[in-house]
Amino acid sequence: MIADKISASSRLRQADFEFGVATSSFQIEGASRVDGKQASIWDEFCRQPGRILDSSHGDVACDHYHRYEDDIRLIRELGFEHYRLSLAWPRLITESGRWNEKGADFYRRLLECCHAHGVTPNVTLYHWDLPASLQGAWLNRDTAYRFADYAAMAVKHLGDLMPRVSTLNEPWCSSILSYDLGYHAPGHNDRAEGLQAAHHLMLASGLGLQAMRAERSDQSLGLVLNFEALQARTEQDQSARDLVHAERIRFWMDRLFNRDPSPALMAQGRVDEQSGDRAIMAEPLDWLGVNYYTRSMVGAADNPRGYELTNEGETERTHIGWDIHPQGLTDILVELHQDYPLPPIYITENGAACDDVLEAGRVNDELRRRYFQGHLAAVDQAIEQGVDIRGYYAWSLMDNFEWAYGYTQRFGLVYVDYTTQARIPKASAMDWQRFLRTR
Ligand code: IFM
């Protein structure tokens, strides 16, 4: 079913097109304060009343720290040969900035386990769990340099097991969503802070790439950005829509290709940019990861951003309330391909939250199956239009901690019973298995 809308000759059916599943450290690992792990900003954020919808935290999550072998085996059984995961920076670096051997031992075992099962790891260094001990977090320029130190150490100690590495996951979320919109840690509401954090994150990515390249030369290095389709509510909302497009898509691409970001956007902050920053942020990528989920409608608004986002009309939505709009993925990929000299692209996340119910040992996640079907067709269309896309990762391997939504949203191909930690593949997972077996 998943592949029903792609042609028999589609690039997606060729054996060298990569299919994988994705997760991140904080969302699945648990074991939040063992083996020398320091607290992350998310450990602290979860403790603040009102921040997480169900008042939950990541202390146990999916207990992947202790169950990783079964989870990797499951990935392989479902037919996936690639796994996108992240390393927890606070597990690997101590408060005094030293390498933590005990934390590293976990990742060495995990990565070895992937290779032993024929699953190639695609490792993200930073998926939002910043060490809480870093004063000023992403508002402090020094954090970018601390990230580069961490990247160099990670590659020095674990590089032999990490053929593909990305610096950051979705820096828009760890800047604008965290410092301006306030939904993610540390939960600030300041437009200028959001833009400054965005600058420091892109600086961190560039410095991290340079530091890793100085350490070894045989890795494929990338960055993962998240994009959403944007549509003006009315004709009068077009300039607000263009501003959001600049903030959520063009800013990141312009930084990567050393172009000037939108003046209207930059005028909303007072970014401290130092000489040499532009060249660092434009450090070349071997590949670019694109995460895509939804489309939003944009209206002009009287607030520091000048816009508001809404859902309008009768469009089908996922359980989290996001519009299902596969065409937006094709359109964004084609736009980027036309406007920037792109490296190879991997769709590093795409998936749906559903109101999954376990009945008689099964989960019939019909909407998720259709979601994947539509989005695989959208990837296929983009390839037809000339975009060099090499792989696709479904979000997520299993249900997990969905940030400010806690455990109220299930994105997994595999259902997690949080009381027993049982893993139950959903109908969509079985669909994937059938598709991958026939390739
Ligand atoms: O769960 C998140 C993930 O951590 C980053 N990308 C979006 C997913 C769904 O919200």
Q: Which of 29, 193, 283, 349 is catalytic?
A: 349
- Dump pLDDT digits (tens) for 42-59: 999 999 999 999 999 999
Q: Which of 170, 193, 283, 402 is catalytic?
A: 170
Atom of ligand 1 nearest to the CA of 353: 9
Q: Where are the chain's structural domains?
A: 11-438
Q: Tell me, what amino acid is at 419?
A: T
Which of left, alpha, beta for 426 (phi over 0: left; psi -120 to 50: alpha)?
Answer: beta
For the whole model, what pTM was predicted?
A: 0.98
Can 170 be counted among the known catalytic residues? yes
Does residue 349 have its Cβ closer than 6 Å to ligand 1? yes
Query: Regarding the domain with residue range 11-438, which homologous superfamily does it belong to in the CATH classification?
Result: Glycosidases (3.20.20.80)
**Distance in Å, CA 44 to ligand 1 centroid:** 19
423 backbone dihedrals φ, ψ, rounded to 5°: -110, 125
Number of Cα atoms under 13 Å in the Cβ half of residue 368 = 33
Atom of ligand 1 nearest to the CA of 22: 3
Residues in contact with 202: Cβ distance below 8 Å, sequence separation at least 6, in sequence order: 171, 252, 255, 256, 281
- Ligand 1: residue of 28, 349, 405, 410 to mutate (most ligand atoms within 8 A of CB) is 349
Token reading at 198 = 């965005």
CB-count burial class (<10 Å; 0-12, 13-18, 19+) for 170: buried
- In three-state secondary structure terms, 179 is helix
Distances (CA, A) of 20 to 76, 167, 182: 10, 19, 31
Does residue 193 have its Cβ closer than 6 Å to ligand 1? no
Does residue 399 have its Cβ closer than 6 Å to ligand 1? no
Does residue 124 have its Cβ closer than 6 Å to ligand 1? no
**Is a pLDDT exceeding 90 seen at residue 40?**
yes
pLDDT for res 107: 99
Encode 346-376: b = buried (16+ Cβ within 10 Å), e = exposed.
Answer: bbbbbbbbbebeeeeeebebebbbbbbbbbb
Q: Using CA atoms, how far apart are residues 32 and 38, in angstroms rounded to an integer?
A: 8
Q: pLDDT category, 312, cuts 50, 70, 90? A: confident
- Ligand 1: residue of 181, 402, 409 to mutate (most ligand atoms within 8 A of CB) is 402
Distances (CA, A) of 54 to 49, 245, 401: 10, 32, 11
The secondary structure of the chain in percent helix, strand, coil, rounded to multiples of 5, reads 40, 20, 40
Q: How far apart are the first and last CA of the chain?
A: 14
- Dump pLDDT digits (tens) for 338-387: 999 999 999 999 999 999 999 999 999 999 999 999 999 999 999 999 99
DSSP letter for each residue of 336-368 = HHHHS----EEEEE----B----BTTB---HHH
**Is a pLDDT exceeding 90 seen at residue 211?**
yes
Handedness of CA 173, 179, 183, 185 (dihedral sign): positive
- Dump pLDDT digits (tens) for 110-147: 999 999 999 999 999 999 999 999 999 999 999 999 99
- Dump pLDDT digits (tens) for 214-239: 999 999 999 999 999 999 999 999 99
pLDDT for res 27: 99
Average pLDDT in the chain? 98
**Distance in Å, CA 402 to ligand 1 centroid:** 7
